[in-house]
Amino acid sequence: MRLSSNRLQAISESLGPMDRDVLRFLLRFTVATTDQLTRLFYGDRTSRHASELACWRMLHRLHGSNLMARLPRRVGGLTGGSAPSLWYLTNAGARLMAQSVKPEKRATRIRAGEPPAITTLNHRLMVAETYVRLRLLKQSGQLDILEFANEPACWRRFADMGGGVTMLKPDAWAHTAAHGSRYEWYWFLEADLGTEGRAAIGRKADAYETYRQTGLEQDRQHVFPKVVWITPSQTRADKLDALFAAEHLAAGHQAMALDQFASLVANHQTATSET
């Protein structure tokens, strides 16, 4: 159902700050689970039940206003088992939020009013989950998030050795500091779902090394970010780390599960990666 401009304006005037934050999150990351939205926006309630109830009331209201739509419950997910409902913006929700969000803060190739492609669903959810984990660390006072950019804002364009133009496409880029630390860290993040083979991983790792050699990133912030490959399991992380070691890339690349990465960024107290 397409809402008229007048109706959309009336709905916009009824939205509270939390409503806008949730809609802005979906415009940026395309899709989110109920659990992600509950933890990020309603985690300060007195109990888990109170948090879930408050979030469901908000979701029901925005769904009823035709700003959000829901994908059906599905089997599988980031941690296996039965996954909760997934939410994305309708055409009306995207129209409304696009008016107040800078283009670089919107999800790449967003198709307003259409559900996210199944082929990229888990990948987008992992990037969103990475951001949620970092935000929760910030809310608990363990981490300072100085900047976080997901695709396409985190992509880097550079000239390759042949004189052509190449685009490095990280899934995200982050600038963080453990709370109270005088050191800052930069990260390129790759959401690895365990579906790409050794050759594909090697090509992308080589692309980072080619970009490193240009010195462009170092000119911007004096260091080259650590490249972290966030994996669905420790077994997968071990396989990637073995690949990086064999290719002499271990100094700049490291694979780990999401829980490990969250702990790493919250506890780093030493200077950051290579120049």
pLDDT level of residue 76 (50, 70, 90 thresholds): very low
> Hey, which residues does 148 pair with through a beta bridge?
174
- Residues 212-264: pLDDT tens digits? 999 999 998 899 999 999 999 999 999 999 999 999 999 999 999 999 999 99
Higher-pLDDT residue of 120, 76: 120
Range of lowest pLDDT (58-67, 108-117, 146-155, 176-185) = 108-117
Three-state SS at 101 = coil
Flag whether pLDDT at 103 surpasses 80. Answer: no
pLDDT at position 3 is: 76
144: phi then psi, degrees, rounded to nearest 5? -110, 120
Distance of CA 270 to the CA centre of its chain: 25
pLDDT at position 6 is: 84
| pTM (two decimals) | 0.87
Distance CA 98, CA 112 (A): 10
Q: Do 245 and 198 touch, CB atoms closer than 8 A?
A: no
User: Mean of the pLDDT values across residues 111-140?
Assistant: 85
pLDDT at position 104 is: 55
- Closest by Cα among 195, 178, 188 to 150: 188
Q: What is the CATH number of domain 124-267?
A: 3.40.1350
Residue 146: partners with Cβ closer than 8 Å, 6 or more residues away:
175, 176, 177, 184
| DSSP assigned state of 107 | P
> What is the crossing angle of helices 118-139 and 34-42, to 10°?
20
31: left (phi over 0), alpha (psi -120 to 50) or beta: beta
The residue type of 95 is R
Percent of the chain as helix, strand, coil, to the nearest 5:
45, 20, 35
Q: Do 127 and 29 touch, CB atoms closer than 8 A?
A: yes
Higher-pLDDT residue of 112, 198: 198
2: phi then psi, degrees, rounded to nearest 5? -90, 125
Residues of the chain with CATH 1.10.10.10: 5-116
Q: What percent of the chain has pLDDT over 90?
A: 65
- Residues 10-66: pLDDT tens digits? 888 999 999 999 999 999 999 999 999 999 999 988 899 999 999 999 999 999 999
pLDDT at position 9 is: 85
Q: What is the CATH number of domain 5-116?
A: 1.10.10.10
- In this structure, the number of other CB atoms found within 10 A of the CB of residue 51 comes to 17
Number of residues in the chain: 275
* Cα-only R_g, the chain: 20
Flag whether pLDDT at 5 surpasses 50. Answer: yes
Q: What percent of the chain has pLDDT over 70?
A: 87
Residues of the chain with CATH 3.40.1350: 124-267
